[in-house]
Amino acid sequence: MKIAPVKMSGGLIGGNKLSLVANQAAGRPYALRHNQRGMALLITLTLLSLMVLTVLALSALNRVSAQQATTAVYQMQARQNALLALRLGLGELQQQAGNNTRLTGMAGVTGVSALAANSTRHWCGVWEQGTGAFVAWLASGAQTTSTAVVQSGLSVVELVGPNTVGAAAVNSEHSIAGKIPLWRTDTAAAPGIATLVGNYAYLVIDEGVKITAYAPESQPRVARLKPLLTGTVPGSAAGKLATALATYSSKLPNIISYEQLSLLPTPNAPLTPSVLQDNFNHVTLTNRMLSGSDYFSGCININTTSTIVWRSLLETYNTAPGVVPITSSNLTAKGNALGNGLAATNLGKMVNGPFSSPANFSVYLATVFPLTGSPTYIEIMAVLGPLLVVRSDTFRIRAYGEAINSLATVPVEARAFCEAIVQRSPLVAANSLGQKFVLINFRWLSPNDL
């Protein structure tokens, strides 16, 4: 049957009007259907927002991942540059000091005085034993002259700083080295053009010019005579460390580095970091001397102007049985006189040069302990002579590397520091470079360690 459309004042019932009639017939008001459409729109917009947020989050994550990967690459490059510096420092040490014909000592013997600003005083120098002629400074960027300075035009980096020796002061000077640039011509940004991609630096520190904190019983140079750190000033850093070493000597065989001496307490209080910092330039854990195929501990390289070392040597003399002791007041004064006058003297050596033998040193010692006094230089040499050497066989190498992005506003993207203790060994080095230096200890350093 064909139904005719119903006419109303608004016209035919059809389309939305017909739907309204149907909804009303079904009991559903028009507002409910309108709300359902609004809810669908809201859900759609919410899902779209979530999708946008997901895309943004993934984009940010990718960006962070890319930045982390780039940072990791620069950090790896910095570490590689630091290792390069370490190898170069070791190679320079081997070339210059591997043979028995070479002397070593600290730059203080050339007249670099004990001042906070003198950041090359503790550089390690090398000289010819026969002639006393200067050979080299074992620091990157150093001039080839006997003057302990960095080449002009080079920037420097502090490799022994406040966290190693405390604030710069007399006998606690910081030590620097020159930065050596690394260039490449195969970078993607500038192919064929030399581009600075990093810098490196190294510093070799002579551990033999320091007092040995622990001399193993199996390697004594002189039986029952161990080097003693000066304790003439009990409240000083040297006095505190001396007390800790004497009180806890049984624990020393388990210590594997100078830094681990911080684990020792003093009898009344913990051994604070500042105690080790103040003694770093004057004390080492164990300095070993090579003689033939044997190692000896407890020897002291006399080519040093550290007054703490000289006072320690005189206190060591006092511990020998049957000696005429040096009084405490004389010990401090005479130890200071030995250290402060060593560079300028021309007795037994050249002015601002090292001693070439303990026998030559005795000529200078006679000026402080003459035959008219007591004890005499002869008595002191009879006890200390076997401990005295004019070259070292144990060294510390600190190395630095940095990676550079020449296109960045701050070009240095990463820095790395490392340190090694190396020991001259009975092994023969290649190319007639004397006895081979071998690695004893290695560690990565953070800026807080410097």
**Distances in whole angstroms, Cα of residue 197 to Cα of each of 57, 87, 339:** 33, 19, 44
Token pair 């028995």 is found at 100
Cα 170 from Cα 307, distance rounded (Å): 11
- Do 305 and 342 touch, CB atoms closer than 8 A? yes
In the 8-state DSSP scheme, what is residue 169? -
Asked, as a colleague might, if the bond just before 375 is cis with ω within 30 of 0, I would say yes
Q: Beta-carbon neighbour count of residue 62 at 10 Å?
A: 10
Query: For the chain, what's the residue count?
Result: 450
Amino acid at residue number 147: T
Q: Where are the beta strands (DSSP E) in 247-363?
A: 283-284, 288-291, 294-297, 300-301
Amino acid at residue number 279: N
Q: In sequence order, what are the residues at sequence separation of 6 or more whose Cβ sits closer than 8 angstroms to the Cβ of residue 407?
A: 189
Cα 199 from Cα 180, distance rounded (Å): 5
Cα 382 from Cα 388, distance rounded (Å): 11
Cα 367 from Cα 333, distance rounded (Å): 13
Handedness of CA 367, 372, 377, 380 (dihedral sign): negative
| 308, two tokens | 């703490």
Q: In sequence order, what are the residues at sequence separation of 6 or more whose Cβ sits closer than 8 angstroms to the Cβ of residue 151?
A: 141, 142, 143, 178
In the 8-state DSSP scheme, what is residue 12? E
- Do 328 and 234 touch, CB atoms closer than 8 A? no
Token pair 């080449």 is found at 151
- Do 160 and 450 touch, CB atoms closer than 8 A? yes
Question: 441, 429, 418, 358: which is closest to 96 by C-alpha?
Answer: 429
Q: Could you list the mean pLDDT of each consecutive 10-residue stretch along the chain, which spans 450 residues?
A: 49 48 52 67 80 78 68 92 98 97 97 96 97 97 96 96 93 95 79 88 98 91 88 84 91 93 77 90 96 93 97 95 92 96 97 97 97 96 96 98 88 96 97 96 96
Question: 165, 158, 174: which is closest to 259 by C-alpha?
Answer: 165
Amino acid at residue number 324: V
**What pLDDT is stored for residue 19 in this prediction?**
52
Q: Beta-carbon neighbour count of residue 263 at 10 Å?
A: 13
Neighbour-count burial for 209-222, b at 16+ CB within 10 Å, e otherwise: bbbbbbbbeeebbb
